[in-house]
C-alpha cells in the first residue's frame, strides 16, 4: 500500500508509518516536546501547556496524525498545577498514601485499587502516563526519596509495583516505572557513579523492576540520572537492551529522567542504548540525531527501532483515542480509597494496651506537635501532589467525635502562620524543591513550656504528639535533625509523658514521616506509637479510624528501623566519596561545588534485613514488623515441591477478640554452597482477608524455583543450588511461627553478562 498525504497513524499501520516518516520527523518523535519544569530553556514543540504543570510531553506530528502525549508526575497522585490562568476552575488531585505507606499494606489488591484510582485521575486530567511507581530500594534510611519508594526488599518492591502498574494501566493510561536503576540517593544524583557488583545489581536493585516488567508490562520505564559502573543509565546498552529487553523481554519504551543534554553523553549513544524518548527534550537533540544518521554514526535501524516503539506506545494512549477527559475526577470515591489504603499502611509500632479507644473512653485530647495542625500528606519534589484538602489530626479527631485542646490549637496555629512567613523570607532561591509548588514544608518544632503541658492534663483524657518529618527530591536527609529527634521534640515527649503519666493518662506518638526515624532512645516513654507515614489527604481520618478501633492495624514495616541510622552497612558509602570532581548544580548557583563522584556498594547484597539478620545486629523494629489489636495463630505449614515451584500453605487463625488481618511472610534460608547467602530472604507473602475472632483462612503461596536463585557472576547465570532450603513463616523477619524444609534440585538460567564493574570493589563478606 502506498501512503498518501492523508494517511494517518493507526494501530495497524505502523510499518507504513515508518516508511512515510522523514528522518526529521523520526528524530523529532524521539525527543520530548519540552515541559513546564524547564520550559524557559527548552521549548521544542509548544505542547508544553497541554496540561498545565504536567512534567512533559512526547511531540506531536500532525501531518501523520501523531498526537502529543502528556506525561505527568507521580507517583502518589497526579501532579499538575491546581489552578490555571484565565479560569476559576481548579485542578486538584487526590493525594494518595506515599510509596512507603502503600507498600506497608502488603496488600497487592488494595494497591491495585489505588493504582486504578490514580490511573483514572491521570486519564480524566487528559494525561497519558503517570511518572511512577518509584521503585528504587531503601539502601539507606537517609535517602531523601525513600518516601516515594517501597522497601529495602526487592520482592516486596516488585510485587507492590506490579499491583500499582496493573491498576493504573487498567484505566487505559500508562506508567513510567522509575528510576531505572540504582538511584538510591539524591546527593549528586545526576553525576554519581554507583559502583556495584553484578550480583547486588541483579538480586537487589534490578530485581524489583524485573518482577514488575514480567508481571505487569509497564508501558514505559524511566532511566535514572546516575551512572552505573561508569556509564550513565540513560545511555547504558547493557542496562536498557541486554538486561531489560533481552533478558526480561520488555517491549515498552524507555524515557530519560528529566535532564536534556548531558555532558559526556551524546544523545546518539542514548538512542543506540535503547532509550526511546529524551526528556524534557531540547532542539539540539533532534539535530544531533539527524546529523548522527547523516554522518553514519547512528544507524537508521536504531532510529527506526525506537520510533516503532514510540508509535506502538502512542496508539495505546488516551490522546491517540481522543479520550474526552472530564477534568473532573471522582474525589469522593477516591477519598474513600485513600482513607482505607492509608489506614491499612499505617504501622502500630507500640501499644501497651491503651489502644484502641473504645466506647468513647477518650473524649478530649491534648494535641501536641506542629504537624498535628499542619499535617504532611506527602513528600516534596516532583513526587508531591496538590490535593483539594488535607485532613489534619485536629480535623480527623473532630470527625471521630473527639475534642482537642483550644489552647494548644491556638498556640500551634499562630506558630504555623508565623513560620510560613519566616520560611518564605529565608528560603534559598537555588533550592527549587523548597518552592511551594513542590510540596509542603516542615517547620521546626517549638518548645512547649512544661507549665502549659501541666495545664492540659486536667481537661484531656489523653495526649497525642505528632512528630513530623519532610523530605524529598534533590536532597538526602540530615542525620541529626531529620533522622534523629531534635532537642525540642525530645523534651516534648518527655514532658508530656511525665505530666500525663503522673495522673495515669496515656500518651500516643504519631510519626508523620515518609521514612524511618530514630525511636530507640524514646520509645519506652509513650504508651503507643503509630507510624502513620505521609498517608495522603485523608490522613487525619485514617489515623482516627485506627485510634478508635474502627480499623484494626495490619500494616507491616517494609524496611528495618535501625537503632542508629549509622547501623546500616551502607553507611560508610552513603552518599559516596568526594574527590576532586566538580559539578554545577542543575539549577541556580554558577559556582562549582564539590561532588560525590562515586558510591561504592561495599555492603553488596547486605542491604536492610539481609545485613541485620545475617550479622545478628539489634534493631529498633525489624523488617515486616507491625502490631495488631488482635492475635493470630499460624498452623503447621504444608509444602509441595514441584519441578518449577514450591507451594506452601498455612492456616492463619484470629485468636483474639476483634476482627483483623494478618500477613504471612515467608523467609527462606538457602544452603551455603558455592555462593555466599544472606541468613534469610523474603520469598513470598500473603495477607488474609478481615478475619473475625476464631475465623481462619488458609493462605497458599507459590515460590518459583527460579526465585530461590542467587546471581552467579562467574557463570552469568541465575543459580539455585541443590540442597535443603528452610522456609520460615512468620509475622516479621524476627517473629517466626512455623518452619519447614524441603530439598530442591539445582536450577540454572543463563543471562547476558552485563554491567560488570570496571574496578575492584571491596565487598562485605559474612
- Interacting residue with ligand BGC among 47, 73, 374, 527 (CB under 6 A): 73
* Contact predicate 225/189, CB 8 Å: yes
State the helix-helix crossing angle for 300-314 and 283-295, rounded to 10 degrees. 140
Would you count residue 257 as binding ligand BGC (CB under 6 A)? yes
Q: Do strands 528-531 and 507-513 pair parallel, antiparallel, or not at all (unpaired)? A: parallel
Would you count residue 718 as binding ligand BGC (CB under 6 A)? no
Q: Which of residues 115-134 bind ligand BGC (CB under 6 A)?
A: 131
CB of 558 to ligand BGC, least distance (A): 20
CB of 730 to ligand BGC, least distance (A): 35
Q: Which of residues 497-526 bind ligand BGC (CB under 6 A)?
A: none
State how far the alpha carbon of 459 is from the alpha carbons of 358, 407, 462, 491, 756, in Å.
Answer: 19, 11, 9, 21, 65
What's the distance, CA 548 to chain centroid? 29
What's the distance, CA 420 to chain centroid? 28
Please say which residue, 180 or 612, places its beta carbon nearer to ligand BGC: 180
Cell for 569? 552497612
CA distance 431 to 585: 10
* Contact predicate 476/62, CB 8 Å: no
Would you count residue 255 as binding ligand BGC (CB under 6 A)? no
Please say which residue, 250 or 258, places its beta carbon nearer to ligand BGC: 258
Q: What is the dihedral of CA 407, 413, 414, 416, to 10 degrees?
A: 140
CB of 620 to ligand BGC, least distance (A): 30
Spell out, one character per residue from 8 to 37, where the chain touches ligand BGC: x when CB under 6 A holds, - when not: -----------------------------x
* Contact predicate 404/398, CB 8 Å: yes
What's the distance, CA 498 to chain centroid? 37
Please say which residue, 229 or 382, places its beta carbon nearer to ligand BGC: 382
H-only helix segments in 220-261:
237
- What is the strand order of the sheet 663-669 is part of? 681-687, 663-669, 723-732, 735-744
SS3 call for 129: strand
Would you count residue 258 as binding ligand BGC (CB under 6 A)? yes
Could you count the other beta carbons within 10 Å of the beta carbon of residue 694?
Answer: 10
Would you count residue 681 as binding ligand BGC (CB under 6 A)? no
CB of 720 to ligand BGC, least distance (A): 35
Could you count the other beta carbons within 10 Å of the beta carbon of residue 523?
Answer: 16
Q: Out of 73, 247, 257, 276, pick the active-site residue.
A: 257
Please say which residue, 222 or 705, places its beta carbon nearer to ligand BGC: 222
Q: Which of residues 447-486 bind ligand BGC (CB under 6 A)?
A: 473
Go through 575-586 and write b for each residue having 16 or more CB atoms within 10 A of its CB, e for each that does not.
bbeeeebebebb
Spell out, one character per residue from 78 to 117, where the chain touches ligand BGC: x when CB under 6 A holds, - when not: ----------------------------------------
Would you count residue 685 as binding ligand BGC (CB under 6 A)? no
Please say which residue, 37 or 232, places its beta carbon nearer to ligand BGC: 37
CB of 39 to ligand BGC, least distance (A): 12
Beta bridge partners of 681: 668
CA distance 85 to 765: 59
CB of 584 to ligand BGC, least distance (A): 16
Q: Is the peptide bond before 575 cis (omega within 30 degrees of 0)?
A: yes
Would you count residue 357 as binding ligand BGC (CB under 6 A)? no
Number of H helices, E strands in the chain: 20, 28
- Interacting residue with ligand BGC among 28, 112, 138, 178 (CB under 6 A): 178
Please say which residue, 121 or 473, places its beta carbon nearer to ligand BGC: 473
Would you count residue 268 as binding ligand BGC (CB under 6 A)? no
Please say which residue, 132 or 158, places its beta carbon nearer to ligand BGC: 132
Please say which residue, 78 or 131, places its beta carbon nearer to ligand BGC: 131
CB of 732 to ligand BGC, least distance (A): 31
SS3 call for 304: helix
CB of 382 to ligand BGC, least distance (A): 4
CB of 177 to ligand BGC, least distance (A): 11
Q: Of 100, 13, 131, 101, whose CA–CA distance to 64 is shortest?
A: 13
Would you count residue 55 as binding ligand BGC (CB under 6 A)? yes
Would you count residue 625 as binding ligand BGC (CB under 6 A)? no
Would you count residue 48 as binding ligand BGC (CB under 6 A)? no
**Would you list the DSSP string of 543-554?**
HHHHHTTSS---
- What is the strand order of the sheet 593-600 is part of? 231-232, 227-228, 193-195, 593-600, 577-583
Burial degree of 16 (CB within 10 A; 0-12, 13-18, 19+)? middle
CA distance 675 to 553: 39
Would you count residue 386 as binding ligand BGC (CB under 6 A)? no
Please say which residue, 177 or 376, places its beta carbon nearer to ligand BGC: 177
CB of 152 to ligand BGC, least distance (A): 20
The verdict on whether 257 is a catalytic residue reads yes
Number of residues located near ligand BGC, criterion CB under 6 A: 9
CB of 257 to ligand BGC, least distance (A): 5
Cβ contacts of 424 within 8 Å, gap of 6 or more:
none
Burial degree of 504 (CB within 10 A; 0-12, 13-18, 19+)? exposed
Name residue, grid cell 523520526: 26
Q: 3-state secondary structure string, 683-717?
A: EEEEECCCECCCCEEEEEEEEEHHHHCEEECCCCE
Please say which residue, 225 or 357, places its beta carbon nearer to ligand BGC: 225
CB of 560 to ligand BGC, least distance (A): 25
H-only helix segments in 277-375:
283-295, 300-314, 318-321, 331-345, 370-373
- Interacting residue with ligand BGC among 100, 371, 382, 542 (CB under 6 A): 382
Could you count the other beta carbons within 10 Å of the beta carbon of residue 266?
Answer: 17
CB of 709 to ligand BGC, least distance (A): 31
Which residues are near ligand BGC by CB under 6 A? 37, 55, 73, 131, 178, 257-258, 382, 473
Catalytic residues: 257
Amino acid at each position: 500500500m502506498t501512503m498518501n498525504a492523508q494517511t494517518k497513524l493507526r494501530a495497524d499501520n505502523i510499518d507504513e508509518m515508518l516508511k512515510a516518516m522523514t528522518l526529521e520527523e523520526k528524530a523529532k518523535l524521539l525527543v520530548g516536546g519540552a515541559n513546564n519544569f524547564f520550559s524557559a530553556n527548552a521549548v521544542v514543540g509548544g505542547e508544553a501547556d497541554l496540561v498545565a504543570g504536567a512534567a512533559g510531553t512526547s511531540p506531536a506530528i500532525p501531518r501523520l496524525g501523531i498526537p502529543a502525549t502528556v506525561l505527568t508526575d507521580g507517583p502518589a497522585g497526579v501532579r499538575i498545577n491546581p489552578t490555571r490562568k484565565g479560569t476559576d476552575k481548579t485542578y486538584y488531585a487526590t493525594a494518595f498514601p506515599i510509596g512507603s505507606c502503600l507498600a506497608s499494606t502488603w496488600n497487592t489488591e488494595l494497591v491495585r485499587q489505588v493504582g486504578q484510582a490514580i490511573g483514572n485521575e491521570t486519564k480524566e486530567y487528559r494525561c497519558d502516563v503517570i511518572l511512577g511507581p518509584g521503585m528504587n530500594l531503601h539502601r539507606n534510611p537517609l535517602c531523601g526519596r525513600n518516601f516515594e519508594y517501597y522497601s529495602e526488599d526487592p520482592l516486596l518492591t516488585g510485587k507492590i509495583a506490579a499491583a500499582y502498574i496493573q491498576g493504573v494501566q487498567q484505566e487505559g493510561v500508562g506508567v513510567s516505572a522509575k528510576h531505572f536503576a540504582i538511584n538510591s540517593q539524591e546527593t549528586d544524583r545526576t553525576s554519581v557513579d554507583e559502583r556495584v557488583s553484578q550480583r547486588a545489581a541483579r538480586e537487589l536493585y534490578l530485581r524489583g523492576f524485573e518482577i514488575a516488567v514480567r508481571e505487569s508490562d509497564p508501558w514505559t520505564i524511566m532511566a535514572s540520572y546516575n551512572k552505573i559502573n561508569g556509564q550513565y543509565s540513560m545511555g547504558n546498552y547493557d542496562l536498557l537492551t541486554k538486561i531489560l529487553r533481552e533478558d526480561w523481554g520488555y517491549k515498552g519504551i524507555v524515557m530519560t529522567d528529566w535532564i536534556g543534554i548531558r555532558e559526556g553523553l551524546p544523545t546518539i549513544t542514548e538512542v543506540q542504548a535503547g532509550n526511546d524518548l529524551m526528556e524534557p527534550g531540547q532542539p539540539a537533540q533532534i539535530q544531533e540525531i539527524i546529523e548522527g544518521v547523516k554522518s553514519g554514526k547512528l544507524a537508521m535501524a536504531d532510529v527506526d527501532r525506537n520510533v516503532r516503539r514510540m508509535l506502538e506506545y502512542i496508539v495505546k494512549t488516551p490522546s491517540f483515542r481522543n479520550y474526552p477527559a472530564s477534568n473532573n475526577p471522582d474525589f469522593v470515591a477516591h477519598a474513600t480509597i485513600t482513607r482505607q489504603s492509608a489506614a491499612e499502611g499505617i504501622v502500630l509500632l507500640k501499644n501497651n494496651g491503651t489502644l484502641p479507644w473504645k466506647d468513647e473512653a477518650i473524649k478530649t485530647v491534648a494535641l501536641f506537635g506542629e504537624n498535628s495542625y499542619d499535617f504532611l500528606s506527602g513528600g516534596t519534589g516532583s513526587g508531591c501532589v496538590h490535593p483539594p484538602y488535607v485532613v489534619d489530626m485536629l480535623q480527623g479527631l473532630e470527625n471521630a467525635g473527639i475534642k482537642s485542646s483550644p489552647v494548644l490549637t491556638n498556640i500551634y496555629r499562630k506558630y504555623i502562620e508565623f513560620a510560613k512567613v519566616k520560611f518564605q523570607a529565608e528560603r534559598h532561591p537555588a533550592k527549587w524543591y523548597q518552592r511551594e509548588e513542590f510540596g509542603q514544608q516542615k517547620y521546626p518544632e517549638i518548645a512547649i513550656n512544661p507549665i502549659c503541658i501541666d495545664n492540659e492534663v486536667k481537661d484531656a483524657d489523653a495526649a497525642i504528639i505528632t512528630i513530623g518529618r519532610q523530605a524529598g527530591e534533590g536532597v538526602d536527609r540530615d542525620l541529626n535533625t531529620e533522622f534523629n529527634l531534635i532537642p525540642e521534640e525530645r523534651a516534648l515527649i518527655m514532658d508530656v509523658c511525665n505530666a500525663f503519666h503522673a495522673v495515669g493518662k496515656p500518651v500516643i506518638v504519631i510519626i508523620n514521616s515518609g521514612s524511618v526515624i530514630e525511636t530507640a532512645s524514646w520509645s519506652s516513654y509513650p504508651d503507643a506509637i503509630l507510624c502513620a507515614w505521609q498517608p495522603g489527604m485523608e490522613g487525619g481520618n485514617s489515623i482516627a479510624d485506627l485510634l478508635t478501633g474502627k480499623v484494626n492495624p495490619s500494616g507491616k514495616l517494609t524496611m528495618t528501623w535501625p537503632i542508629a541510622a549509622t547501623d546500616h552497612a551502607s553507611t560508610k558509602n552513603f552518599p559516596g566519596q568526594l574527590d576532586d570532581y566538580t559539578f554545577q548544580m542543575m539549577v541556580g548557583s554558577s559556582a562549582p561545588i564539590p561532588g560525590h563522584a562515586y558510591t561504592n556498594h561495599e555492603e553488596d547484597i547486605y542491604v536492610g534485613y539481609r545485613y541485620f539478620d545475617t550479622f545478628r545486629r539489634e534493631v529498633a523494629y525489624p523488617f515486616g514488623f507491625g502490631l495488631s489489636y488482635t492475635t493470630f495463630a499460624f498452623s503447621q505449614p504444608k509444602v509441595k515441591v514441584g519441578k518449577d515451584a514450591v507451594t506452601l500453605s498455612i492456616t492463619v487463625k484470629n485468636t483474639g477478640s476483634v476482627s483483623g488481618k494478618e500477613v504471612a511472610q515467608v523467609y527462606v534460608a538457602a544452603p551455603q554452597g558455592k555462593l555466599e547467602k544472606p541468613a534469610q530472604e523474603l520469598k513470598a507473602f500473603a495477607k488474609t482477608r478481615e478475619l473475625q475472632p476464631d475465623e481462619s483462612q488458609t493462605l497458599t503461596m507459590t515460590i518459583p524455583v527460579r526465585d530461590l536463585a542467587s546471581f552467579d557472576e562467574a557463570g552469568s547465570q541465575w543459580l539455585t543450588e541443590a540442597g535443603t532450603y528452610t522456609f520460615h513463616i512468620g509475622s516479621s523477619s524476627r517473629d517466626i511461627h512455623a518452619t519447614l524444609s524441603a530439598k530442591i534440585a539445582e536450577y540454572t538460567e543463563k543471562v547476558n553478562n552485563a554491567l560488570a564493574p570496571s574496578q575492584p570493589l571491596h565487598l562485605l563478606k559474612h
